């Protein structure tokens, strides 16, 4: 695997890889591990926006909604041009999740010297992510020793469903756009973390060699 990672690193240069997938598909987990192995910087628009919301006492993403496009442009896009990222490759977690944002993301990334060279789609069914969400929720309950009321459970389920609906309605068109541009790399995500990462590396390596399947 080390040889393949080195080849990907050389191909990527100071470029970017953008990772997409349903909630609970493992975007951040896989993205952080990929960044560590490539010596890249990990950048999540969700983390940036949540930090800015707290700083500015705004609540755009409350209830699972995506931040409005104008806020996304104002808060997230300038990060590409940060001086401390200048010589680094980037691994992005769903940066530009709303249909229409992808062109501005690609433009800003390219102008800052971090052109998006691949978009990863972690393929997993809605049933599988629902099962993962239930497992995480139950583990949290066991750890806290507190029962979740039906009202709280309904609220959590509503937020999770909204996130899935947002993905299908607003993010899938972004993924189709990357596919049209020949930049999409699809990876199975219904496996263990180790297996998903290995498949991601294999797929990216093939893509970097000009073989996408």
Span 178-195, mean pLDDT?
Answer: 96
Return the CATH fold of 2-208: Rossmann fold (3.40.50)
For residue 95, what pLDDT is reported?
A: 93
Query: What pLDDT, on a 0 to 100 scale, did the predictor assign at position 62?
Result: 67
Query: What CA–CA distance (Å, rounded) separates 161 from 190?
Result: 19
pTM, two decimals, is: 0.85
Spatial CA neighbour of 18 closest among 193, 174, 210: 174
* Helical H segments across the chain, by residue range: 2-12, 27-38, 45-56, 69-75, 101-111, 126-144, 150-166, 172-180, 193-208
Alpha-carbon gap, residue 59 to 64, rounded angstroms = 11
Spatial contact of 193 and 23, defined as CB atoms under 8 Å apart: no
How far is residue 129's CA from residue 190's CA, in Å, rounded to a whole number?
Answer: 9
Rounded CA separation 7/3 (Å): 6
pLDDT exceeds cutoff 60 at 114? yes
Q: What is the pLDDT of residues 143-173, one digit of tens each?
A: 655 555 655 565 667 778 888 998 999 999 9
What's the pLDDT score for residue 154?
A: 58
The residue extents of the domains of the chain are 2-208
Q: Name the pLDDT band for 63 (thresholds 50, 70, 90).
A: low
* Residues 68-81 pLDDT 10s: 778 878 878 888 99
């Amino acid at each position: 695997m080390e040889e393949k990672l080195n080849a990907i690193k050389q191909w990527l240069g100071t470029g970017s890889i953008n990772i997409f997938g349903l909630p609970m598909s493992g975007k951040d987990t896989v993205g952080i591990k990929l960044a560590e192995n490539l010596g890249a910087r990990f950048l999540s628009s969700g983390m940036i926006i949540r930090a800015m919301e707290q700083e500015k006492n705004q609540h755009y993403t409350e209830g699972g909604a995506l931040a409005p496009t104008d806020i996304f442009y104002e808060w997230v896009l300038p990060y590409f041009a940060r001086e401390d990222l200048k010589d680094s490759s980037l691994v992005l977690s769903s940066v530009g999740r709303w249909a229409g944002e992808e062109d501005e993301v690609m433009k800003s990334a390219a102008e800052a010297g971090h052109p998006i060279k691949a978009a990863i789609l972690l393929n997993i069914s809605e049933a599988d992510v629902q099962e993962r969400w239930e497992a995480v929720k139950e583990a949290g309950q066991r750890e806290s020793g507190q029962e979740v009321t039906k009202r709280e459970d309904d609220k959590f389920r509503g937020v999770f469903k909204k996130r899935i609906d947002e993905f299908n309605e607003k993010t899938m068109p972004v993924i189709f756009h990357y596919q049209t541009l020949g930049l999409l790399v699809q990876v199975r995500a219904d496996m263990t973390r180790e297996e998903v990462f290995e498949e991601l590396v294999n797929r990216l390596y093939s893509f970097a060699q000009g073989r996408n399947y």
